[in-house]
Amino acid sequence: MGCCCGNNGNGCTHNTYKITVIPGDGIGKEVMEAALHVLNASGIEFDYTFADAGDEYAEKTGVALPQETIDAVKKSQACLFGAVGESAADVIVKLRKELDLYVNLRPVHSYGKAGKFGDVDFVIVRENTEGLYSGHEEYTDEGATALRITTRSATRRICDFAFDYAKKTGRSKVTAVHKANVLKKTDGIFKEVFYQTAEKYDDIESNDFYVDATAMYLVTRPQDFDVIVTSNLFGDILSDEGAGIVGGLGLLPSANIGDKNGVFEPVHGSAPDIAGKGIANPSAMILSTVLMLEYLGEPDEARKVEKALVETIDEGKIVTSDLGGSSSTMEMAEEVARKLSKL
């Protein structure tokens, strides 16, 4: 992932990064506070602009995502996004469309003793702008219909990203996930373009599976996967399955990336059932800052933040209850920050 200034991480001269922060609703606020505490312990300076979005803001104003927030994200070098509730389609989906954030990148990695496997390490590259999430729905006399959109141009750029990402990160295989045996035209195009793209990367292995088979393989042999590239809906579902494999949504970060902007968010939602209790796992939000640091061309600092978090999880002493501990969200963040400051 390249530097925000177009230098692809080489020779970036920024001293302070301009970051838009959208805490959102529920535990989004709590994990954001925790993640910023960790970031502030790093060797990098940030200029934060806090912006509004989400259910609570919509209740006050009638608008879930104000234009001022969109403008702030456009002017910043990256955006950290916490979580929103029922207004997700009006907030994060709209941000993706407004900024043409066509990549949703979701690493699925085993940390500590969480999860059913100890050696999982794959990445889901999800097309972020088309498919059933395009929002083209209408009611009919009998119910409703939804339009599933697949274009060659959007499929080509997401497949290019997947293979480029594999090459840059030292991964050896890209797997396309589709349902072309049933969705012969839309997923037929996806499969066709995938293999056309694969021809340009003869040093990267390529294969494909149906989405239902992939769902089974993820829980029986997840170690077989390296990079998965798929459509919007399939990627969303498989990502949550991946979270279950490695210990829950509290451990899964994501990046929404376009040619000019990047928005980084945990996969979990606003979790109103535990909001305000200070027990939310901040790992996914902290790992989202790791993805942001990579995007900004700061891979060394990204590795340090990740290492500090992994050491905290592995020790298991100061972690949240879902990781087997009894610490609060901020107590865990403070421990990660302490370890980071010593690296």
Q: In the chain, what's the furthest Cα-to-Cα distance?
A: 65
Q: Could you say which of 133, 165, 295, 339 is catalytic?
A: 133
Token pair 């339009």 in the structure block, residue: 147
Active site residue 102: no
Active site residue 240: yes
Q: Could you say which of 17, 208, 236, 339 is catalytic?
A: 236
Q: How far apart are the first and last CA of the chain?
A: 24
DSSP string, 43-87: S-EEEEEE---SHHHHHHHS-SS-HHHHHHHHHSSEEEEEE-STT
Active site residue 17: no
| Helical (H) or strand (E) element with 195 | helix 186-198
Active site residue 90: no
Q: Summarize the chain as % helix, strand, coil (round to 5).
A: 45, 20, 35
Active site residue 164: no
Q: Could you say which of 47, 71, 100, 212 is catalytic?
A: 212
DSSP string, 13-48: --SEEEEEEEEESTHHHHHHHHHHHHHTTSS-EEEE
Q: Could you say which of 90, 160, 164, 240 is catalytic?
A: 240
| Helical (H) or strand (E) element with 104 | strand 103-109
**Active-site residues: which are they?**
133, 179, 212, 236, 240
